[in-house]
Amino acid sequence: MRIQPASMMEQLPTQFFSTMVAKVNKVIAEGHDVINLGQGNPDLPTPPHIVEELCKQAADPLHHKYPPFQGRIELKQAIAHWYKQEFDVDLDPEEEVAILMGSKTGLVEICQVLLNPGDVALVPDPGYPDYWSGVAITGARMVPMPLLAENGFLPDYGKLKDEDIQKAKLMFVNYPNNPTAVNAPMEFYEETMKFAKKNEIVVCSDFAYGGISFDGKKPVSFMQVPGAKEVGVEFYTLSKTYNMAGWRVGAMVGNRDVVRLINTLQDHYFVSLFGAVQMAAARALTGSQECVSQLVQTYQGRRDALFDALHQIGWKCTPSQGSFFAWLPVPAGYGSVELADLLLTKAHVMVAPGIGFGEHGEGYVRIGLLNTEDRLREAVMRMEQLKLFS
Protein backbone atom coordinates (compact mmCIF):
# COMPACT_ATOMS: atom_id res chain seq x y z
CA MET A 1 0.00 0.00 0.00
CA ARG A 2 1.31 3.45 -0.92
CA ILE A 3 0.96 6.07 1.82
CA GLN A 4 -0.09 9.40 0.37
CA PRO A 5 0.78 12.25 2.76
CA ALA A 6 -1.41 15.32 3.09
CA SER A 7 -0.31 18.22 0.90
CA MET A 8 0.39 20.18 4.08
CA MET A 9 3.39 17.94 4.76
CA GLU A 10 4.99 19.14 1.54
CA GLN A 11 4.52 22.77 2.57
CA LEU A 12 6.55 22.41 5.77
CA PRO A 13 9.93 24.18 5.68
CA THR A 14 13.12 22.13 5.71
CA GLN A 15 14.36 21.62 9.25
CA PHE A 16 17.70 23.37 8.82
CA PHE A 17 19.02 22.56 12.26
CA SER A 18 18.54 18.81 11.97
CA THR A 19 21.21 18.94 9.26
CA MET A 20 23.42 20.95 11.61
CA VAL A 21 23.05 18.36 14.38
CA ALA A 22 23.93 15.58 11.94
CA LYS A 23 27.17 17.39 11.06
CA VAL A 24 28.09 17.73 14.74
CA ASN A 25 27.36 14.08 15.47
CA LYS A 26 29.55 13.01 12.55
CA VAL A 27 32.55 14.95 13.87
CA ILE A 28 31.98 13.64 17.41
CA ALA A 29 31.76 10.09 16.06
CA GLU A 30 35.19 10.60 14.52
CA GLY A 31 36.53 11.06 18.05
CA HIS A 32 36.85 14.84 18.23
CA ASP A 33 36.06 16.99 21.27
CA VAL A 34 33.40 19.32 19.89
CA ILE A 35 32.37 22.44 21.79
CA ASN A 36 28.75 22.68 20.69
CA LEU A 37 27.58 26.29 20.85
CA GLY A 38 25.06 25.98 18.04
CA GLN A 39 21.92 24.93 19.89
CA GLY A 40 19.59 26.64 22.35
CA ASN A 41 19.18 23.94 24.98
CA PRO A 42 19.82 25.15 28.57
CA ASP A 43 22.81 23.33 30.06
CA LEU A 44 22.02 23.81 33.76
CA PRO A 45 19.55 21.79 35.88
CA THR A 46 16.14 22.89 37.07
CA PRO A 47 16.43 24.53 40.53
CA PRO A 48 16.06 21.94 43.34
CA HIS A 49 12.99 23.49 45.00
CA ILE A 50 11.03 23.09 41.74
CA VAL A 51 12.10 19.45 41.34
CA GLU A 52 11.17 18.79 44.98
CA GLU A 53 7.70 20.23 44.37
CA LEU A 54 7.26 17.96 41.37
CA CYS A 55 8.18 14.89 43.42
CA LYS A 56 5.76 15.90 46.15
CA GLN A 57 2.92 16.58 43.73
CA ALA A 58 3.55 13.43 41.70
CA ALA A 59 2.74 11.35 44.79
CA ASP A 60 -0.73 12.92 45.05
CA PRO A 61 -3.36 10.63 43.46
CA LEU A 62 -5.28 13.73 42.38
CA HIS A 63 -2.73 14.18 39.60
CA HIS A 64 -2.97 10.59 38.44
CA LYS A 65 -6.29 11.44 36.83
CA TYR A 66 -6.91 13.66 33.85
CA PRO A 67 -6.23 17.31 34.72
CA PRO A 68 -8.77 20.02 33.80
CA PHE A 69 -8.90 20.38 30.01
CA GLN A 70 -7.67 23.99 30.00
CA GLY A 71 -5.16 23.71 32.82
CA ARG A 72 -5.18 24.05 36.57
CA ILE A 73 -6.32 27.36 37.99
CA GLU A 74 -3.32 27.34 40.34
CA LEU A 75 -0.94 27.63 37.39
CA LYS A 76 -3.02 30.29 35.67
CA GLN A 77 -3.03 32.31 38.89
CA ALA A 78 0.73 31.83 39.22
CA ILE A 79 1.30 33.17 35.70
CA ALA A 80 -0.88 36.20 36.48
CA HIS A 81 1.10 36.66 39.72
CA TRP A 82 4.41 36.56 37.84
CA TYR A 83 3.28 39.17 35.31
CA LYS A 84 2.06 41.45 38.10
CA GLN A 85 5.23 41.02 40.14
CA GLU A 86 7.68 41.38 37.26
CA PHE A 87 5.93 43.87 34.95
CA ASP A 88 2.97 45.32 36.89
CA VAL A 89 0.60 43.80 34.33
CA ASP A 90 -2.88 42.74 35.49
CA LEU A 91 -4.24 39.52 33.97
CA ASP A 92 -7.51 37.68 34.55
CA PRO A 93 -6.35 34.08 35.16
CA GLU A 94 -9.59 32.62 33.82
CA GLU A 95 -10.03 34.70 30.67
CA GLU A 96 -6.58 36.05 29.75
CA VAL A 97 -4.26 33.09 30.38
CA ALA A 98 -3.95 29.88 28.35
CA ILE A 99 -1.69 26.99 29.41
CA LEU A 100 0.50 25.57 26.63
CA MET A 101 2.56 22.45 26.04
CA GLY A 102 5.57 24.73 25.78
CA SER A 103 5.41 28.02 23.92
CA LYS A 104 6.68 26.31 20.74
CA THR A 105 3.34 24.52 20.44
CA GLY A 106 1.43 27.74 20.94
CA LEU A 107 3.35 29.57 18.24
CA VAL A 108 2.07 27.01 15.74
CA GLU A 109 -1.44 26.91 17.20
CA ILE A 110 -1.97 30.67 16.93
CA CYS A 111 -1.47 30.35 13.18
CA GLN A 112 -4.05 27.57 13.05
CA VAL A 113 -6.71 29.60 14.87
CA LEU A 114 -6.16 32.89 13.00
CA LEU A 115 -4.86 32.22 9.48
CA ASN A 116 -6.53 30.93 6.33
CA PRO A 117 -4.87 30.03 3.03
CA GLY A 118 -3.81 33.24 1.31
CA ASP A 119 -3.64 35.33 4.48
CA VAL A 120 -0.36 37.04 5.34
CA ALA A 121 1.72 36.66 8.47
CA LEU A 122 4.47 39.20 9.11
CA VAL A 123 7.55 37.39 10.41
CA PRO A 124 10.90 38.75 11.67
CA ASP A 125 13.90 37.88 9.50
CA PRO A 126 16.12 36.59 11.03
CA GLY A 127 13.75 34.84 13.39
CA TYR A 128 12.78 31.63 15.13
CA PRO A 129 12.11 29.02 12.40
CA ASP A 130 8.98 27.62 14.05
CA TYR A 131 7.13 30.77 13.02
CA TRP A 132 7.58 29.52 9.47
CA SER A 133 6.20 26.11 10.41
CA GLY A 134 2.96 27.50 11.81
CA VAL A 135 2.37 29.68 8.78
CA ALA A 136 3.13 26.82 6.36
CA ILE A 137 0.70 24.44 8.07
CA THR A 138 -2.17 26.87 7.49
CA GLY A 139 -1.33 27.58 3.84
CA ALA A 140 -0.90 31.26 4.59
CA ARG A 141 1.86 33.42 3.12
CA MET A 142 4.84 34.62 5.10
CA VAL A 143 6.15 38.17 4.57
CA PRO A 144 9.55 38.82 6.16
CA MET A 145 10.25 41.91 8.25
CA PRO A 146 14.03 42.47 7.93
CA LEU A 147 15.90 42.96 11.21
CA LEU A 148 18.93 45.04 10.26
CA ALA A 149 21.85 46.20 12.39
CA GLU A 150 21.37 49.82 11.29
CA ASN A 151 17.87 49.76 12.81
CA GLY A 152 18.92 48.07 16.05
CA PHE A 153 17.54 44.76 14.76
CA LEU A 154 13.98 46.14 15.03
CA PRO A 155 11.53 45.85 12.11
CA ASP A 156 10.74 49.00 10.14
CA TYR A 157 6.99 48.93 9.50
CA GLY A 158 7.34 51.81 7.06
CA LYS A 159 9.23 49.54 4.67
CA LEU A 160 6.39 47.01 4.33
CA LYS A 161 4.28 46.99 1.17
CA ASP A 162 0.72 48.27 1.52
CA GLU A 163 -0.68 45.17 -0.20
CA ASP A 164 1.04 42.92 2.34
CA ILE A 165 -0.17 45.01 5.28
CA GLN A 166 -3.75 44.87 3.98
CA LYS A 167 -3.66 41.05 3.81
CA ALA A 168 -1.82 40.58 7.10
CA LYS A 169 -3.79 39.05 9.97
CA LEU A 170 -0.92 38.13 12.30
CA MET A 171 2.56 39.40 13.10
CA PHE A 172 5.36 37.99 15.24
CA VAL A 173 7.77 40.05 17.32
CA ASN A 174 10.39 38.57 19.63
CA TYR A 175 12.45 40.41 22.26
CA PRO A 176 14.80 39.69 23.95
CA ASN A 177 15.54 38.43 20.47
CA ASN A 178 16.59 35.06 19.19
CA PRO A 179 18.95 35.11 17.35
CA THR A 180 20.18 38.75 17.49
CA ALA A 181 20.28 38.97 21.33
CA VAL A 182 18.95 42.54 21.47
CA ASN A 183 16.17 44.00 23.62
CA ALA A 184 13.39 46.28 22.40
CA PRO A 185 12.47 49.61 24.04
CA MET A 186 8.97 50.57 25.16
CA GLU A 187 8.75 53.01 22.23
CA PHE A 188 9.01 50.11 19.78
CA TYR A 189 6.12 48.27 21.42
CA GLU A 190 4.01 51.43 21.48
CA GLU A 191 4.64 51.82 17.75
CA THR A 192 3.80 48.14 17.22
CA MET A 193 0.51 48.47 19.10
CA LYS A 194 -0.54 51.49 17.02
CA PHE A 195 0.48 49.81 13.75
CA ALA A 196 -1.43 46.64 14.63
CA LYS A 197 -4.55 48.49 15.76
CA LYS A 198 -4.64 50.67 12.65
CA ASN A 199 -4.30 47.68 10.33
CA GLU A 200 -6.27 45.12 12.39
CA ILE A 201 -3.32 42.74 12.75
CA VAL A 202 -3.00 40.45 15.78
CA VAL A 203 0.36 40.86 17.51
CA CYS A 204 2.09 37.70 18.72
CA SER A 205 4.86 38.70 21.12
CA ASP A 206 7.28 35.81 21.68
CA PHE A 207 8.65 36.53 25.16
CA ALA A 208 10.52 33.26 25.64
CA TYR A 209 13.63 35.06 26.96
CA GLY A 210 11.69 37.57 29.05
CA GLY A 211 13.56 36.55 32.21
CA ILE A 212 17.07 36.95 30.77
CA SER A 213 18.49 40.44 30.28
CA PHE A 214 21.89 41.88 31.14
CA ASP A 215 23.56 44.89 32.72
CA GLY A 216 20.70 45.41 35.16
CA LYS A 217 18.23 46.28 32.41
CA LYS A 218 14.84 44.61 32.60
CA PRO A 219 13.24 43.64 29.27
CA VAL A 220 9.93 45.19 28.28
CA SER A 221 6.82 43.03 27.98
CA PHE A 222 4.41 43.90 25.18
CA MET A 223 1.64 43.53 27.78
CA GLN A 224 2.96 46.65 29.53
CA VAL A 225 1.78 48.85 26.65
CA PRO A 226 -1.66 50.40 27.27
CA GLY A 227 -4.06 48.76 24.84
CA ALA A 228 -1.84 45.74 24.15
CA LYS A 229 -4.56 43.26 25.13
CA GLU A 230 -6.86 44.77 22.51
CA VAL A 231 -4.53 43.82 19.67
CA GLY A 232 -2.46 40.87 20.77
CA VAL A 233 -1.09 38.18 22.99
CA GLU A 234 2.26 37.25 24.48
CA PHE A 235 3.88 33.84 24.75
CA TYR A 236 6.03 32.96 27.74
CA THR A 237 7.81 29.75 28.66
CA LEU A 238 9.46 28.46 31.81
CA SER A 239 12.06 26.65 29.67
CA LYS A 240 14.67 29.40 29.75
CA THR A 241 14.01 31.32 32.97
CA TYR A 242 13.96 28.19 35.17
CA ASN A 243 15.93 25.68 33.07
CA MET A 244 12.73 23.69 32.49
CA ALA A 245 13.01 23.05 28.74
CA GLY A 246 12.14 19.36 29.09
CA TRP A 247 9.10 20.05 31.26
CA ARG A 248 7.19 21.68 28.36
CA VAL A 249 5.38 24.39 30.31
CA GLY A 250 4.34 27.59 28.60
CA ALA A 251 1.56 30.13 28.54
CA MET A 252 -0.15 32.61 26.26
CA VAL A 253 -1.59 35.75 27.86
CA GLY A 254 -3.53 38.74 26.64
CA ASN A 255 -6.49 39.10 24.29
CA ARG A 256 -9.50 37.15 25.60
CA ASP A 257 -10.79 36.15 22.17
CA VAL A 258 -7.46 34.66 21.14
CA VAL A 259 -7.13 32.89 24.50
CA ARG A 260 -10.57 31.37 23.95
CA LEU A 261 -9.63 30.22 20.44
CA ILE A 262 -6.40 28.59 21.62
CA ASN A 263 -8.22 26.84 24.46
CA THR A 264 -10.87 25.55 22.07
CA LEU A 265 -8.27 24.16 19.68
CA GLN A 266 -6.32 22.55 22.50
CA ASP A 267 -9.47 20.88 23.79
CA HIS A 268 -9.22 18.77 20.63
CA TYR A 269 -5.49 18.11 21.00
CA PHE A 270 -4.74 17.68 24.71
CA VAL A 271 -6.10 17.23 28.19
CA SER A 272 -3.56 19.75 29.45
CA LEU A 273 -0.27 18.99 31.21
CA PHE A 274 0.37 16.43 33.95
CA GLY A 275 -1.06 18.13 37.04
CA ALA A 276 2.10 17.64 39.11
CA VAL A 277 4.12 19.50 36.47
CA GLN A 278 1.61 22.34 36.57
CA MET A 279 1.84 22.63 40.34
CA ALA A 280 5.64 22.58 40.25
CA ALA A 281 5.55 25.29 37.60
CA ALA A 282 3.29 27.35 39.85
CA ARG A 283 5.88 26.98 42.62
CA ALA A 284 8.58 28.23 40.25
CA LEU A 285 6.59 31.35 39.36
CA THR A 286 5.40 32.27 42.86
CA GLY A 287 8.40 31.22 44.97
CA SER A 288 11.73 32.98 45.49
CA GLN A 289 13.22 34.31 42.27
CA GLU A 290 16.78 34.15 43.58
CA CYS A 291 17.44 31.21 41.26
CA VAL A 292 16.56 33.45 38.30
CA SER A 293 18.88 36.20 39.51
CA GLN A 294 21.70 33.67 39.85
CA LEU A 295 21.01 32.27 36.38
CA VAL A 296 21.14 35.73 34.80
CA GLN A 297 24.42 36.41 36.61
CA THR A 298 25.79 33.14 35.24
CA TYR A 299 24.82 34.01 31.67
CA GLN A 300 26.18 37.54 32.03
CA GLY A 301 29.49 36.14 33.26
CA ARG A 302 29.59 33.83 30.25
CA ARG A 303 28.70 36.67 27.91
CA ASP A 304 31.48 38.82 29.30
CA ALA A 305 34.03 35.99 29.08
CA LEU A 306 33.04 35.25 25.47
CA PHE A 307 33.11 38.81 24.21
CA ASP A 308 36.34 39.65 26.03
CA ALA A 309 37.97 36.70 24.28
CA LEU A 310 36.43 37.60 20.90
CA HIS A 311 37.65 41.18 21.13
CA GLN A 312 41.14 39.96 22.00
CA ILE A 313 41.36 38.02 18.72
CA GLY A 314 40.07 40.99 16.73
CA TRP A 315 36.44 39.92 16.23
CA LYS A 316 34.47 43.18 16.22
CA CYS A 317 31.06 42.42 17.72
CA THR A 318 28.51 43.97 20.06
CA PRO A 319 27.81 42.24 23.41
CA SER A 320 24.41 40.64 23.85
CA GLN A 321 21.69 42.64 25.62
CA GLY A 322 19.46 39.67 26.47
CA SER A 323 18.61 35.99 25.78
CA PHE A 324 21.39 33.41 26.08
CA PHE A 325 22.81 33.94 22.61
CA ALA A 326 25.48 36.00 20.87
CA TRP A 327 25.05 37.26 17.28
CA LEU A 328 28.35 37.73 15.51
CA PRO A 329 29.10 39.19 12.05
CA VAL A 330 31.15 36.74 10.00
CA PRO A 331 34.66 37.75 8.90
CA ALA A 332 35.07 39.22 5.43
CA GLY A 333 35.15 36.65 2.66
CA TYR A 334 32.97 34.05 4.39
CA GLY A 335 29.32 33.05 4.22
CA SER A 336 27.58 31.94 7.39
CA VAL A 337 27.42 28.24 6.42
CA GLU A 338 30.98 28.31 5.13
CA LEU A 339 32.25 29.79 8.42
CA ALA A 340 30.19 27.38 10.53
CA ASP A 341 31.56 24.39 8.57
CA LEU A 342 35.11 25.69 8.90
CA LEU A 343 34.82 26.16 12.65
CA LEU A 344 33.35 22.68 13.05
CA THR A 345 35.84 20.80 10.89
CA LYS A 346 39.02 22.72 11.78
CA ALA A 347 38.39 24.09 15.30
CA HIS A 348 35.78 21.55 16.42
CA VAL A 349 33.48 24.36 17.54
CA MET A 350 29.85 24.32 16.43
CA VAL A 351 27.99 27.57 15.81
CA ALA A 352 24.66 28.15 14.06
CA PRO A 353 24.87 29.80 10.62
CA GLY A 354 22.68 32.86 10.41
CA ILE A 355 21.05 31.82 7.13
CA GLY A 356 19.18 29.17 9.12
CA PHE A 357 17.12 31.98 10.66
CA GLY A 358 16.17 33.64 7.39
CA GLU A 359 17.64 35.49 4.42
CA HIS A 360 18.69 38.48 6.53
CA GLY A 361 20.54 36.21 8.92
CA GLU A 362 23.19 35.71 6.26
CA GLY A 363 26.44 37.35 7.28
CA TYR A 364 26.13 36.27 10.92
CA VAL A 365 26.54 33.24 13.15
CA ARG A 366 24.77 32.56 16.43
CA ILE A 367 26.61 31.29 19.50
CA GLY A 368 24.85 29.95 22.59
CA LEU A 369 26.08 30.99 26.05
CA LEU A 370 25.38 27.42 27.07
CA ASN A 371 28.72 26.23 28.31
CA THR A 372 31.12 27.25 31.06
CA GLU A 373 33.23 30.40 30.86
CA ASP A 374 36.35 28.25 30.46
CA ARG A 375 34.86 26.30 27.53
CA LEU A 376 33.71 29.51 25.86
CA ARG A 377 37.22 30.93 26.15
CA GLU A 378 38.63 27.67 24.83
CA ALA A 379 36.29 27.84 21.84
CA VAL A 380 37.62 31.31 20.97
CA MET A 381 41.21 30.13 21.41
CA ARG A 382 40.52 27.36 18.90
CA MET A 383 39.03 29.93 16.50
CA GLU A 384 42.12 32.10 16.86
CA GLN A 385 44.27 29.32 15.39
CA LEU A 386 42.41 29.74 12.09
CA LYS A 387 43.75 33.32 11.72
CA LEU A 388 40.37 34.64 10.60
CA PHE A 389 41.27 38.26 11.41
CA SER A 390 44.96 38.42 10.51
What domains sit in the chain, N to C, each tagged with a CATH number? 7-46+291-384 (3.90.1150.10), 50-286 (3.40.640.10)
Beta strands 352-353 and 168-174, pairing class: unpaired
pLDDT tier at 269, thresholds 50, 70, 90: very high
The span from the CA of 143 to the CA of 124, in Å, is: 9
pTM (predicted TM-score): 0.95
pLDDT tier at 11, thresholds 50, 70, 90: confident
Q: pLDDT tens, 234-255?
A: 999 999 999 999 999 999 999 9
Average the pLDDT over 17-28 and give the result.
84
Q: List 205's β-bridge partners, or say none.
A: 173, 234
Cα–Cα nearest to 111, from 237, 263, 262, 232: 262
Beta strands 168-174 and 120-125, pairing class: parallel
Contact 124, 174 (CB under 8 A): yes
Secondary-structure percent of the chain, ordered helix, strand, coil, rounded to 5: 50, 15, 35
Please, what is the Cα angle at 385 between 381 and 390, to 5 degrees?
Answer: 110
Cα–Cα nearest to 36, from 343, 385, 386, 334: 343
Cβ atoms < 10 Å from Cβ of 272: 21
Q: With a cut of 90, say whether residue 14 has pLDDT above it.
A: no
Contact 357, 314 (CB under 8 A): no
pLDDT tier at 18, thresholds 50, 70, 90: confident
pLDDT tier at 7, thresholds 50, 70, 90: confident
Q: With a cut of 90, say whether residue 209 has pLDDT above it.
A: yes
| Sequence-ordered list of residues with C-beta below 8 angstroms from that of 205, at least 6 positions apart, any chain | 173, 174, 189, 221, 222, 223, 232, 233, 234, 235
- Residue 69 has what pLDDT? 93
Q: With a cut of 90, say whether residue 145 has pLDDT above it.
A: yes
Contact 160, 195 (CB under 8 A): no
In percent, the amount of the chain with pLDDT more than 70 equals 100
Average the pLDDT over 60-70 and give the result.
94
State CA 38 to chain mean position distance: 14
Cα–Cα nearest to 232, from 211, 253, 208: 253
Q: Identify the sign of the CA torsion 5, 109, 191, 153.
A: negative
pLDDT tier at 298, thresholds 50, 70, 90: very high
Q: pLDDT tens, 316-332?
A: 999 999 999 999 999 99
Q: With a cut of 90, say whether residue 75 has pLDDT above it.
A: yes
